[in-house]
Protein backbone atom coordinates (compact mmCIF):
# COMPACT_ATOMS: atom_id res chain seq x y z
CA UNK A 1 0.00 0.00 0.00
CA UNK A 2 1.39 3.40 -0.96
CA UNK A 3 2.32 6.09 1.55
CA UNK A 4 -0.55 8.46 0.66
CA UNK A 5 -3.05 5.62 1.00
CA UNK A 6 -1.72 4.71 4.43
CA UNK A 7 -1.91 8.33 5.52
CA UNK A 8 -5.48 8.59 4.24
CA UNK A 9 -6.51 5.47 6.16
CA UNK A 10 -4.81 6.75 9.30
CA UNK A 11 -6.60 10.06 8.89
CA UNK A 12 -9.98 8.35 8.57
CA UNK A 13 -9.22 6.23 11.63
CA UNK A 14 -8.32 9.31 13.66
CA UNK A 15 -11.54 11.04 12.55
CA UNK A 16 -13.56 7.98 13.51
CA UNK A 17 -11.94 7.80 16.95
CA UNK A 18 -12.47 11.53 17.55
CA UNK A 19 -16.10 11.30 16.47
CA UNK A 20 -16.67 8.29 18.74
CA UNK A 21 -15.09 10.08 21.70
CA UNK A 22 -17.12 13.23 21.03
CA UNK A 23 -20.38 11.29 20.78
CA UNK A 24 -19.61 9.27 23.89
CA UNK A 25 -18.68 12.38 25.88
CA UNK A 26 -21.84 14.24 24.88
CA UNK A 27 -24.02 11.67 26.67
CA UNK A 28 -21.58 10.50 29.35
CA UNK A 29 -24.01 11.54 32.11
CA UNK A 30 -26.49 8.89 30.93
CA UNK A 31 -25.63 5.32 31.83
CA UNK A 32 -26.43 2.25 29.76
CA UNK A 33 -25.37 -1.32 28.98
CA UNK A 34 -21.77 -2.07 28.00
CA UNK A 35 -20.74 -0.78 24.56
CA UNK A 36 -23.89 1.32 24.01
CA UNK A 37 -21.77 4.45 24.33
CA UNK A 38 -19.64 3.56 21.31
CA UNK A 39 -21.62 1.03 19.26
CA UNK A 40 -25.11 0.47 17.86
CA UNK A 41 -24.73 -3.30 18.01
CA UNK A 42 -26.34 -3.91 21.44
CA UNK A 43 -29.42 -2.08 20.16
CA UNK A 44 -29.32 -3.90 16.82
CA UNK A 45 -29.06 -7.31 18.51
CA UNK A 46 -32.09 -6.55 20.70
CA UNK A 47 -34.08 -5.54 17.62
CA UNK A 48 -33.08 -8.66 15.69
CA UNK A 49 -34.09 -10.85 18.62
CA UNK A 50 -37.51 -9.22 18.59
CA UNK A 51 -37.41 -8.27 22.27
CA UNK A 52 -36.12 -4.70 22.17
CA UNK A 53 -39.22 -3.50 24.06
CA UNK A 54 -38.28 -5.79 26.97
CA UNK A 55 -34.64 -4.74 26.70
CA UNK A 56 -35.61 -1.07 26.88
CA UNK A 57 -37.56 -1.77 30.09
CA UNK A 58 -34.62 -3.66 31.61
CA UNK A 59 -32.25 -0.83 30.69
CA UNK A 60 -34.48 1.80 32.32
CA UNK A 61 -35.01 -0.32 35.40
CA UNK A 62 -31.25 -0.74 35.87
CA UNK A 63 -29.93 2.64 34.72
CA UNK A 64 -32.76 5.05 35.40
CA UNK A 65 -35.75 6.73 33.68
CA UNK A 66 -33.46 8.14 30.97
CA UNK A 67 -30.77 5.73 29.82
CA UNK A 68 -28.49 5.16 26.85
CA UNK A 69 -29.12 2.37 24.32
CA UNK A 70 -26.85 3.54 21.47
CA UNK A 71 -24.17 6.24 20.94
CA UNK A 72 -26.75 8.92 20.08
CA UNK A 73 -29.94 7.28 21.35
CA UNK A 74 -31.58 7.65 24.76
CA UNK A 75 -34.66 5.80 25.99
CA UNK A 76 -37.13 7.03 28.61
CA UNK A 77 -39.67 5.28 30.81
CA UNK A 78 -40.88 8.58 32.28
CA UNK A 79 -44.43 9.53 31.20
CA UNK A 80 -43.74 13.18 32.05
CA UNK A 81 -40.61 13.30 29.89
CA UNK A 82 -42.34 11.58 26.97
CA UNK A 83 -45.32 13.95 27.13
CA UNK A 84 -42.91 16.90 27.26
CA UNK A 85 -40.97 15.61 24.25
CA UNK A 86 -44.17 15.23 22.21
CA UNK A 87 -45.61 18.61 23.22
CA UNK A 88 -42.68 21.01 23.10
CA UNK A 89 -41.90 22.73 19.78
CA UNK A 90 -38.47 21.92 18.39
CA UNK A 91 -38.58 18.17 18.81
CA UNK A 92 -39.03 16.22 15.59
CA UNK A 93 -39.29 12.63 14.48
CA UNK A 94 -35.86 11.06 13.96
CA UNK A 95 -34.89 10.39 10.35
CA UNK A 96 -32.97 7.21 11.23
CA UNK A 97 -36.18 5.58 12.45
CA UNK A 98 -39.05 7.17 10.52
CA UNK A 99 -37.46 7.25 7.07
CA UNK A 100 -37.04 3.50 7.49
CA UNK A 101 -40.84 3.21 7.78
CA UNK A 102 -41.42 4.59 4.30
CA UNK A 103 -43.23 2.05 2.18
CA UNK A 104 -42.61 3.68 -1.20
CA UNK A 105 -39.37 4.96 -2.65
CA UNK A 106 -38.68 8.47 -1.34
CA UNK A 107 -42.34 9.17 -0.64
CA UNK A 108 -43.47 10.04 2.89
CA UNK A 109 -46.81 9.31 4.49
CA UNK A 110 -48.22 10.99 7.59
CA UNK A 111 -46.38 8.49 9.80
CA UNK A 112 -42.94 8.65 8.15
CA UNK A 113 -42.92 12.44 7.66
CA UNK A 114 -40.20 14.01 9.85
CA UNK A 115 -40.68 17.65 8.81
CA UNK A 116 -42.93 19.14 11.50
CA UNK A 117 -44.57 21.71 9.21
CA UNK A 118 -45.40 19.17 6.51
CA UNK A 119 -46.54 16.67 9.13
CA UNK A 120 -48.92 19.17 10.72
CA UNK A 121 -50.36 20.11 7.34
CA UNK A 122 -50.98 16.48 6.41
CA UNK A 123 -52.63 15.76 9.78
CA UNK A 124 -55.04 18.65 9.17
CA UNK A 125 -55.98 17.13 5.82
CA UNK A 126 -56.59 13.69 7.32
CA UNK A 127 -57.95 14.30 10.83
CA UNK A 128 -61.59 14.94 9.78
CA UNK A 129 -61.73 11.57 8.03
CA UNK A 130 -60.25 9.66 10.95
CA UNK A 131 -62.32 11.43 13.61
CA UNK A 132 -65.66 10.49 12.06
CA UNK A 133 -66.77 14.10 11.60
CA UNK A 134 -66.98 13.55 7.84
CA UNK A 135 -67.69 9.83 7.95
CA UNK A 136 -71.17 9.63 9.40
CA UNK A 137 -71.42 5.91 8.65
CA UNK A 138 -68.21 5.00 10.50
CA UNK A 139 -69.81 3.10 13.36
CA UNK A 140 -72.37 1.52 11.03
CA UNK A 141 -69.52 0.16 8.90
CA UNK A 142 -67.84 -1.28 12.00
CA UNK A 143 -71.14 -2.93 12.95
CA UNK A 144 -71.42 -4.56 9.53
CA UNK A 145 -67.96 -6.07 9.82
CA UNK A 146 -68.64 -7.13 13.41
CA UNK A 147 -71.72 -8.97 12.17
CA UNK A 148 -69.53 -10.74 9.59
CA UNK A 149 -67.02 -11.64 12.32
CA UNK A 150 -69.59 -13.14 14.67
CA UNK A 151 -71.34 -14.93 11.82
CA UNK A 152 -68.06 -16.56 10.81
CA UNK A 153 -67.47 -17.82 14.36
CA UNK A 154 -71.02 -19.07 14.88
CA UNK A 155 -71.33 -20.72 11.48
CA UNK A 156 -67.98 -22.51 11.30
CA UNK A 157 -66.29 -22.68 14.69
CA UNK A 158 -68.85 -23.77 17.27
CA UNK A 159 -67.67 -26.83 19.18
CA UNK A 160 -69.88 -29.42 20.83
CA UNK A 161 -69.55 -32.41 23.17
CA UNK A 162 -68.98 -34.61 20.13
CA UNK A 163 -66.52 -32.43 18.23
CA UNK A 164 -63.96 -29.76 19.05
CA UNK A 165 -63.46 -27.28 16.22
CA UNK A 166 -60.27 -25.25 16.76
CA UNK A 167 -60.12 -21.66 15.55
CA UNK A 168 -57.12 -19.40 15.06
CA UNK A 169 -58.65 -16.39 16.79
CA UNK A 170 -55.58 -14.23 16.18
CA UNK A 171 -55.94 -14.61 12.41
CA UNK A 172 -59.72 -14.09 12.45
CA UNK A 173 -59.26 -10.89 14.45
CA UNK A 174 -56.92 -9.55 11.79
CA UNK A 175 -59.40 -10.53 9.08
CA UNK A 176 -61.88 -8.40 11.02
CA UNK A 177 -59.62 -5.35 11.40
CA UNK A 178 -58.52 -5.48 7.76
CA UNK A 179 -62.14 -5.67 6.62
CA UNK A 180 -63.01 -2.75 8.92
CA UNK A 181 -60.20 -0.45 7.78
CA UNK A 182 -60.75 -1.27 4.10
CA UNK A 183 -64.48 -0.67 4.54
CA UNK A 184 -64.23 2.67 6.37
CA UNK A 185 -61.06 3.72 4.54
CA UNK A 186 -61.64 2.63 0.96
CA UNK A 187 -65.40 2.22 0.98
CA UNK A 188 -65.15 -1.50 0.21
CA UNK A 189 -64.24 -4.41 2.51
CA UNK A 190 -61.53 -6.81 1.37
CA UNK A 191 -63.93 -9.69 2.10
CA UNK A 192 -61.67 -11.73 4.35
CA UNK A 193 -64.38 -12.58 6.87
CA UNK A 194 -66.80 -13.56 4.14
CA UNK A 195 -64.31 -15.91 2.48
CA UNK A 196 -62.50 -16.89 5.71
CA UNK A 197 -59.13 -16.57 4.03
CA UNK A 198 -56.28 -14.16 3.41
CA UNK A 199 -57.67 -12.54 0.26
CA UNK A 200 -54.90 -11.76 -2.24
CA UNK A 201 -52.40 -12.64 0.53
CA UNK A 202 -52.73 -9.23 2.18
CA UNK A 203 -51.69 -10.56 5.59
CA UNK A 204 -48.78 -12.52 4.21
CA UNK A 205 -47.62 -9.53 2.16
CA UNK A 206 -47.83 -7.21 5.16
CA UNK A 207 -45.95 -9.64 7.40
CA UNK A 208 -43.21 -10.09 4.81
CA UNK A 209 -42.88 -6.35 4.28
CA UNK A 210 -42.75 -5.53 7.99
CA UNK A 211 -40.17 -8.26 8.60
CA UNK A 212 -37.92 -7.03 5.80
CA UNK A 213 -38.21 -3.42 6.96
CA UNK A 214 -37.56 -4.32 10.60
CA UNK A 215 -34.45 -6.34 9.85
CA UNK A 216 -33.08 -3.66 7.52
CA UNK A 217 -33.54 -1.05 10.25
CA UNK A 218 -31.89 -3.26 12.87
CA UNK A 219 -28.86 -3.88 10.66
CA UNK A 220 -28.58 -0.25 9.57
CA UNK A 221 -29.33 -0.97 5.90
CA UNK A 222 -32.74 0.68 5.61
CA UNK A 223 -31.23 3.78 3.99
CA UNK A 224 -30.40 1.70 0.91
CA UNK A 225 -34.09 1.51 -0.04
CA UNK A 226 -34.17 5.33 -0.21
CA UNK A 227 -30.73 5.89 -1.74
CA UNK A 228 -30.40 7.59 -5.15
CA UNK A 229 -30.33 5.28 -8.16
CA UNK A 230 -30.24 1.92 -6.34
CA UNK A 231 -33.11 2.70 -3.96
CA UNK A 232 -35.82 2.44 -6.59
CA UNK A 233 -34.67 -1.11 -7.34
CA UNK A 234 -34.70 -2.13 -3.66
CA UNK A 235 -37.80 -0.36 -2.31
CA UNK A 236 -41.20 -2.10 -2.63
CA UNK A 237 -42.95 -1.64 -5.97
CA UNK A 238 -46.50 -2.41 -7.18
CA UNK A 239 -44.83 -4.70 -9.70
CA UNK A 240 -43.55 -7.03 -6.95
CA UNK A 241 -45.17 -10.42 -6.41
CA UNK A 242 -44.74 -10.44 -2.62
CA UNK A 243 -44.24 -8.22 0.41
CA UNK A 244 -45.53 -4.66 0.51
CA UNK A 245 -45.30 -4.42 -3.28
CA UNK A 246 -48.15 -6.88 -3.78
CA UNK A 247 -50.29 -5.05 -1.23
CA UNK A 248 -49.47 -1.72 -2.89
CA UNK A 249 -50.80 -2.90 -6.24
CA UNK A 250 -54.11 -4.08 -4.77
CA UNK A 251 -54.55 -1.00 -2.59
CA UNK A 252 -53.71 1.45 -5.38
CA UNK A 253 -56.24 -0.26 -7.65
CA UNK A 254 -59.01 0.21 -5.07
CA UNK A 255 -57.97 3.82 -4.44
CA UNK A 256 -58.10 4.67 -8.13
CA UNK A 257 -61.56 3.09 -8.41
CA UNK A 258 -62.80 5.09 -5.43
CA UNK A 259 -61.18 8.34 -6.61
CA UNK A 260 -62.98 8.04 -9.94
CA UNK A 261 -66.39 8.23 -8.23
CA UNK A 262 -68.11 11.10 -6.44
CA UNK A 263 -67.23 12.01 -2.85
CA UNK A 264 -70.77 13.26 -2.21
CA UNK A 265 -72.75 10.03 -2.49
CA UNK A 266 -70.78 8.17 0.16
CA UNK A 267 -68.46 9.75 2.72
CA UNK A 268 -65.67 7.45 3.83
CA UNK A 269 -62.12 8.30 4.86
CA UNK A 270 -60.90 8.39 1.29
CA UNK A 271 -63.65 10.82 0.31
CA UNK A 272 -62.70 13.06 3.24
CA UNK A 273 -59.03 12.96 2.26
CA UNK A 274 -59.94 13.97 -1.29
CA UNK A 275 -62.13 16.83 -0.13
CA UNK A 276 -59.18 18.17 1.86
CA UNK A 277 -56.80 18.19 -1.07
CA UNK A 278 -55.21 14.75 -1.25
CA UNK A 279 -55.00 13.30 -4.74
CA UNK A 280 -52.86 11.10 -6.96
CA UNK A 281 -49.74 9.61 -5.38
CA UNK A 282 -50.35 11.36 -2.04
CA UNK A 283 -53.80 9.81 -1.77
CA UNK A 284 -52.51 6.35 -2.66
CA UNK A 285 -49.66 6.64 -0.17
CA UNK A 286 -51.90 7.61 2.75
CA UNK A 287 -54.47 4.94 1.90
CA UNK A 288 -51.78 2.27 1.89
CA UNK A 289 -50.35 3.45 5.20
CA UNK A 290 -53.75 3.44 6.91
CA UNK A 291 -54.43 -0.13 5.74
CA UNK A 292 -51.11 -1.47 7.03
CA UNK A 293 -50.96 0.51 10.27
CA UNK A 294 -54.66 0.57 11.08
CA UNK A 295 -55.27 -3.15 10.79
CA UNK A 296 -52.15 -4.53 12.46
CA UNK A 297 -52.14 -2.33 15.55
CA UNK A 298 -55.86 -2.64 16.30
CA UNK A 299 -55.70 -6.40 15.76
CA UNK A 300 -52.86 -6.56 18.27
CA UNK A 301 -54.92 -4.62 20.81
CA UNK A 302 -58.02 -6.81 20.44
CA UNK A 303 -55.94 -9.99 20.59
CA UNK A 304 -54.21 -9.03 23.83
CA UNK A 305 -57.50 -8.00 25.47
CA UNK A 306 -59.31 -11.22 24.52
CA UNK A 307 -56.31 -13.33 25.53
CA UNK A 308 -56.27 -11.82 29.01
CA UNK A 309 -60.02 -12.30 29.38
CA UNK A 310 -59.84 -15.93 28.27
CA UNK A 311 -56.94 -16.77 30.56
CA UNK A 312 -58.45 -15.10 33.64
CA UNK A 313 -61.74 -16.83 34.59
CA UNK A 314 -62.29 -14.39 37.47
CA UNK A 315 -62.10 -11.43 35.09
CA UNK A 316 -64.28 -13.18 32.52
CA UNK A 317 -67.03 -13.84 35.09
CA UNK A 318 -67.03 -10.22 36.30
CA UNK A 319 -67.08 -8.88 32.76
CA UNK A 320 -69.88 -11.23 31.76
CA UNK A 321 -71.88 -10.11 34.78
CA UNK A 322 -71.51 -6.47 33.72
CA UNK A 323 -72.52 -7.35 30.15
CA UNK A 324 -75.62 -9.19 31.40
CA UNK A 325 -76.54 -6.34 33.75
CA UNK A 326 -76.15 -3.78 30.95
CA UNK A 327 -78.53 -5.74 28.72
CA UNK A 328 -81.03 -6.23 31.54
CA UNK A 329 -80.99 -2.55 32.50
CA UNK A 330 -81.35 -1.36 28.91
CA UNK A 331 -77.83 0.09 28.77
CA UNK A 332 -76.94 -2.18 25.85
CA UNK A 333 -79.01 -4.06 23.25
CA UNK A 334 -79.73 -7.72 23.86
CA UNK A 335 -79.05 -10.65 21.51
CA UNK A 336 -80.57 -10.10 18.08
CA UNK A 337 -81.27 -6.43 18.76
CA UNK A 338 -78.17 -4.89 17.24
CA UNK A 339 -74.76 -4.01 18.59
CA UNK A 340 -73.72 -1.91 21.54
CA UNK A 341 -72.98 1.70 20.61
CA UNK A 342 -69.50 3.06 21.20
CA UNK A 343 -70.93 5.64 23.62
CA UNK A 344 -72.66 2.85 25.57
CA UNK A 345 -69.47 0.77 25.75
CA UNK A 346 -67.62 3.72 27.27
CA UNK A 347 -70.14 3.81 30.14
CA UNK A 348 -69.36 0.24 31.26
CA UNK A 349 -66.73 0.69 33.95
CA UNK A 350 -65.39 -2.84 34.17
CA UNK A 351 -65.24 -3.26 30.40
CA UNK A 352 -63.17 -0.09 30.15
CA UNK A 353 -60.98 -1.23 33.05
CA UNK A 354 -60.31 -4.54 31.29
CA UNK A 355 -59.42 -2.74 28.07
CA UNK A 356 -57.10 -0.27 29.79
CA UNK A 357 -55.42 -2.98 31.85
CA UNK A 358 -54.77 -5.29 28.89
CA UNK A 359 -53.33 -2.44 26.82
CA UNK A 360 -51.18 -1.54 29.81
CA UNK A 361 -49.62 -4.95 30.53
CA UNK A 362 -49.25 -5.75 26.84
CA UNK A 363 -49.01 -2.56 24.75
CA UNK A 364 -49.90 -3.50 21.15
CA UNK A 365 -47.34 -1.01 19.81
CA UNK A 366 -44.03 -0.89 21.68
CA UNK A 367 -41.76 0.75 19.10
CA UNK A 368 -39.13 3.31 20.09
CA UNK A 369 -40.73 6.21 18.13
CA UNK A 370 -37.48 8.18 18.39
CA UNK A 371 -37.52 12.01 18.59
CA UNK A 372 -34.62 14.38 17.84
CA UNK A 373 -33.76 16.77 20.65
CA UNK A 374 -33.75 20.44 19.48
CA UNK A 375 -30.31 21.59 18.24
CA UNK A 376 -29.77 23.79 21.28
CA UNK A 377 -30.69 21.02 23.70
CA UNK A 378 -33.52 20.97 26.22
CA UNK A 379 -34.04 20.58 29.96
CA UNK A 380 -36.56 18.08 31.33
CA UNK A 381 -37.67 17.27 34.86
CA UNK A 382 -37.18 13.85 36.47
CA UNK A 383 -38.69 13.63 39.96
CA UNK A 384 -38.26 17.39 40.34
CA UNK A 385 -34.63 17.35 39.21
CA UNK A 386 -33.54 19.15 36.03
CA UNK A 387 -31.82 16.99 33.42
CA UNK A 388 -30.24 18.50 30.30
CA UNK A 389 -30.64 16.70 26.98
CA UNK A 390 -27.95 17.89 24.54
CA UNK A 391 -28.76 18.72 20.95
CA UNK A 392 -27.79 16.28 18.24
CA UNK A 393 -29.12 13.23 20.09
CA UNK A 394 -32.51 11.54 20.13
CA UNK A 395 -34.77 10.08 22.78
CA UNK A 396 -37.27 7.25 22.45
CA UNK A 397 -40.21 5.57 24.17
CA UNK A 398 -39.84 2.61 26.53
CA UNK A 399 -43.38 1.21 26.42
CA UNK A 400 -42.91 -1.70 28.81
CA UNK A 401 -40.78 0.37 31.17
CA UNK A 402 -43.50 3.02 31.30
CA UNK A 403 -46.64 0.91 31.48
CA UNK A 404 -45.29 -1.72 33.89
CA UNK A 405 -43.92 0.90 36.29
CA UNK A 406 -44.44 0.13 39.97
CA UNK A 407 -44.17 3.84 40.70
CA UNK A 408 -47.28 4.52 38.61
CA UNK A 409 -49.27 1.30 39.00
CA UNK A 410 -48.16 -0.22 42.31
CA UNK A 411 -46.10 -3.23 43.36
CA UNK A 412 -48.28 -5.60 41.31
CA UNK A 413 -47.73 -3.58 38.12
CA UNK A 414 -46.81 -6.69 36.12
CA UNK A 415 -50.05 -8.44 37.06
CA UNK A 416 -53.25 -8.23 35.01
CA UNK A 417 -55.73 -6.75 37.51
CA UNK A 418 -58.43 -4.51 36.00
CA UNK A 419 -59.70 -3.59 39.46
CA UNK A 420 -56.80 -1.16 39.90
CA UNK A 421 -58.68 1.23 37.57
CA UNK A 422 -61.71 1.18 39.88
CA UNK A 423 -59.95 1.33 43.26
CA UNK A 424 -57.48 4.21 42.88
CA UNK A 425 -58.11 7.65 44.38
CA UNK A 426 -58.94 10.42 41.87
CA UNK A 427 -55.43 11.90 41.75
CA UNK A 428 -53.75 8.52 41.28
CA UNK A 429 -56.34 7.45 38.71
CA UNK A 430 -55.76 10.64 36.71
CA UNK A 431 -52.00 9.89 36.66
CA UNK A 432 -52.66 6.31 35.54
CA UNK A 433 -55.04 7.41 32.78
CA UNK A 434 -52.59 10.02 31.48
CA UNK A 435 -49.89 7.37 31.27
CA UNK A 436 -52.20 4.77 29.74
CA UNK A 437 -53.27 7.20 27.01
CA UNK A 438 -49.66 7.28 25.81
CA UNK A 439 -50.26 3.89 24.18
CA UNK A 440 -51.85 5.96 21.38
CA UNK A 441 -49.09 8.56 21.27
CA UNK A 442 -49.37 12.13 22.46
CA UNK A 443 -49.70 15.71 21.30
CA UNK A 444 -48.91 16.47 17.68
CA UNK A 445 -47.80 12.86 17.21
CA UNK A 446 -50.92 11.17 18.62
CA UNK A 447 -52.28 8.34 16.48
CA UNK A 448 -54.84 9.64 13.98
CA UNK A 449 -56.61 6.29 14.04
CA UNK A 450 -57.30 6.40 17.78
CA UNK A 451 -61.06 7.18 17.43
CA UNK A 452 -61.60 4.31 14.98
CA UNK A 453 -59.53 1.90 17.07
CA UNK A 454 -61.44 2.74 20.25
CA UNK A 455 -64.76 2.14 18.52
CA UNK A 456 -63.57 -1.23 17.20
CA UNK A 457 -62.08 -2.32 20.51
CA UNK A 458 -65.00 -1.42 22.79
CA UNK A 459 -67.68 -2.91 20.56
CA UNK A 460 -65.70 -6.05 19.70
CA UNK A 461 -64.70 -6.95 23.26
CA UNK A 462 -68.29 -6.49 24.47
CA UNK A 463 -69.84 -8.59 21.70
CA UNK A 464 -67.17 -11.31 21.52
CA UNK A 465 -67.23 -11.83 25.28
CA UNK A 466 -70.61 -13.50 24.69
CA UNK A 467 -69.09 -15.87 22.14
CA UNK A 468 -66.02 -16.97 24.09
CA UNK A 469 -67.86 -18.36 27.11
CA UNK A 470 -66.20 -21.48 28.53
CA UNK A 471 -63.03 -20.94 26.49
CA UNK A 472 -61.19 -20.11 29.70
CA UNK A 473 -61.80 -23.67 30.90
CA UNK A 474 -60.18 -25.32 27.87
CA UNK A 475 -56.65 -25.62 26.60
CA UNK A 476 -55.64 -23.43 23.70
CA UNK A 477 -52.49 -22.34 21.92
CA UNK A 478 -50.72 -18.99 22.20
CA UNK A 479 -47.74 -18.17 20.00
CA UNK A 480 -47.72 -21.77 18.80
CA UNK A 481 -46.92 -23.12 22.29
Instruction: Give 143-202 as a 3 state SS string.
Output: HHHHHHHHHHHHHHCCCCCCCCCCCCHHHHHHHHHHHHHHHHHHCCCCCHHHHCCCHHHH
Q: Which CATH number does 10-476 carry?
A: 1.10.630.10
DSSP assignment of 394-418 = EEEE-HHHHHT-HHHH-TTTTS--T
Q: Residue 444 in contact with residue 298, Cβ under 8 Å?
A: no
- Cβ of 111: how many Cβ atoms within 10 Å? 20
164: region left, alpha or beta (phi > 0 left; psi from -120 to 50 alpha): beta
Separation between Cα atoms, residue 371 and residue 85, nearest integer Å? 8
φ, ψ dihedrals at 397, nearest 5°: -105, 125
φ, ψ dihedrals at 111, nearest 5°: -80, -40
Q: What is the pTM of this model?
A: 0.91
Helix axes 280-310, 169-186, angle to 10 degrees: 150
Separation between Cα atoms, residue 37 and residue 398, nearest integer Å? 18
Residue 187, judged by CB atoms within 10 A of its CB (0-12, 13-18, 19+), counts as buried
Beta bridge partners of 387: 380
CA dihedral 150, 154, 157, 160 (to 10 degrees): 140
Q: Residue 285 in contact with residue 248, Cβ under 8 Å?
A: no
Q: For the chain, what is the largest distance between any 2 Cα atoms, rounded to a whole number of angstroms?
A: 89
Q: What is the pLDDT of residue 398?
A: 98
Q: What is the pLDDT of residue 245?
A: 82
Residue 354 C-beta-side C-alpha neighbours within 13 Å? 34
CA distances from 243 to 26, 105, 295, 431 (A): 40, 14, 16, 41
Separation between Cα atoms, residue 178 and residue 207, nearest integer Å? 13
Q: What is the pLDDT of residue 352?
A: 98
- Cβ of 227: how many Cβ atoms within 10 Å? 14
* Residues in contact with 395: Cβ distance below 8 Å, sequence separation at least 6, in sequence order: 66, 73, 74, 75, 76, 81, 85, 370, 371, 373, 389
Q: Of 335, 324, 271, 292, nearest to 110 (Cα)?
A: 292
* Residues in contact with 117: Cβ distance below 8 Å, sequence separation at least 6, in sequence order: none
Pairing label, strands 73-76, 394-397? parallel
Q: What is the pLDDT of residue 161?
A: 84
Q: What is the pLDDT of residue 198?
A: 92
Question: How many residues are given for the chain?
Answer: 481
SS3 label, residue 28: coil
Q: What is the pLDDT of residue 234?
A: 83
Beta bridge partners of 76: 66, 397
Q: pLDDT under 70 in the chain at which residues?
A: 1-25, 263-266, 469-481
Q: Residue 93 in contact with residue 119, Cβ under 8 Å?
A: yes
Q: What is the pLDDT of residue 480?
A: 46
Q: Residue 267 in contact with residue 185, Cβ under 8 Å?
A: no
Residue 304 assigned to a binding site: no
Amino acid sequence: MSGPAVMALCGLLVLYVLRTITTYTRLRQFRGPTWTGISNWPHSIAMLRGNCHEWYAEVNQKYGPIARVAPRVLITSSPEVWMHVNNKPGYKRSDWYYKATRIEYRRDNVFSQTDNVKHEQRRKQMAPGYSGRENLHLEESVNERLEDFLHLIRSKYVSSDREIIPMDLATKVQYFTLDVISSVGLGKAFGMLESDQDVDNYLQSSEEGLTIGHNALALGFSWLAQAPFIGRFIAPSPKDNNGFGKMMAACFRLVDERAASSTDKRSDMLASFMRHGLAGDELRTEALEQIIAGSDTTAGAIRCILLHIMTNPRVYVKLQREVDDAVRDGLAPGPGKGFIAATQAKQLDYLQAVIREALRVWPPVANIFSRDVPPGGDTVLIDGESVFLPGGVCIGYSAYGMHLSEKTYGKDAKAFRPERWLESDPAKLAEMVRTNELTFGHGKFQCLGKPVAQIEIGKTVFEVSEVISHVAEKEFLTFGQ
